[in-house]
Amino acid sequence: MGNATRLPSAGRTTVLRDRELDEEVHCRVFPSGLTAYVVRKPEFTRSYATIATRYGSVDTQLRTNGRTRRLPDGIAHFLEHKVFETPEGDAFDLFASRGASANAFTSFTSTRYLFGTSENYEDNLRTLLDFVFDLHVTDANVEKEKGIIGQEIAMYADDPDWRIYFGALEAMYVRHPVRIDIAGTKETIATITPELLRDVHRAYYHPRIMALAAVSPAPVEATFDAVEERVEGRAFGPPPGPRSALPRESRRARRRQAEVRLAINRPRLLVAFKDAPPPKDPRAQLRLELASSIAFDCLFGNSGSIFLKLYEAGLVDDSFSGSYTAEASFAFAMAGGETDDATKLRATLERELAAALGRGITKEEFERTRNKAVGGFARAFNSPERIAQMLASHHLRGTTVRDYREILFALKLPEVNRRMAAMLAPAARCYSLVLPK
């Protein structure tokens, strides 16, 4: 479906056709810099749209007027909350009144706003574009939000899945901000002001670093017309300057184990693997991610060799899962779940990881796992949510859906085995545990 690095010139629409998938993506770059992707699905009854910006929790600095400011931890997530505030009230209520369900989320590297609906698609899309670009903050509503997010932070402090995940990140990383909770702390968000939120919104909610992706039975031009009406003609300042370089770290984990005790019934254990940052080239980064994900799934997926041994030994259950994550400045893998005996599970994992390094991944395991990935990719085109999020994700990273498919089919077993050996290096390995009080 074309290459995201070869986008159409401003104001023109390009149709990216994929004959193998029998899909068309209409892409237009607007004069403001916003890139919009639209997939028309006349057979669908539901519409879905997301708008994403390349700004997340690891973006801890703001360059404006020739100076660089350190941003408070948690400000990207805080801003996500405040964007929904409008002079008329909460945007969630407006979406609900029009039959739509809306949401948003902040990750390490992006913030996204979305809605799904079976009616009033164009009105809901205009609402999405309005509130994302119209920030309404006051001293009163910012102070109120600090209390709300403070309660959210306290709630996550008692969430075993959240604590084990960030426990693993803190055990892996020394200085990289990926180790910091996306929501920040009560102390860091206390320093956030309306003026700082406006500065961050002006810089990082700039159309040139954003993308809109929509899937709907409505005509393609209906989406483009909404952008023309609600985004074009607005006054935007200069786009954000170059981001400050994030700390580079060695492969060695900061410490071997992180542990916390909570009011739970069964222990939880995560094994984590700190990987080297991916290459800068977007396609090379995507290739590394796909090879690593397949290698990891061969070991820890629901038919993976290590998972099956742990399951048959009664050490794990269906709560056990794993995944590989790669972004421009960091990469890691994690696998884990609930267990009755965390000590025995860790010892068994150590033995099985050593055995996996010795034997490698077989051709049968590789082909089965890659076929599963191919099937999941094809099924994604039956879901408006997954189509839109795929398009937005690939735009933010500088790749395309076609890149994904081509690289997936081009992968070879030796490459996947090399990735497995690199990922499982003992020095890069650590554990995170949540134990009952």
Q: Could you list the active site residues? A: 80
- Maximum Cα–Cα distance for the chain, whole Å? 63
Give burial (CB, 10 Å; 0-12/13-18/19+) of 35.
buried
**Helix or strand run (H / E) with residue 330:** strand 330-338
Q: Which of 17, 32, 75 is nearest to 237 (CA)?
A: 32
Give the C-alpha separation, 291 to 306, whole Å.
18
**Helix or strand run (H / E) with residue 350:** helix 342-359
- Do 207 and 231 touch, CB atoms closer than 8 A? yes
Give the C-alpha separation, 315 to 311, whole Å.
6
- Do 263 and 159 touch, CB atoms closer than 8 A? no
Report phi then psi at 138, rounded to 5.
-135, 165
Question: Residues of 69-88 as b/e, b for ≥16 C-beta within 10 angstroms?
Answer: eebbbbbbbbbbbbbbbbee
Neighbouring-strand partners of residue 106: 111
Q: Which of 152, 139, 248, 236 is nearest to 196 (CA)?
A: 139
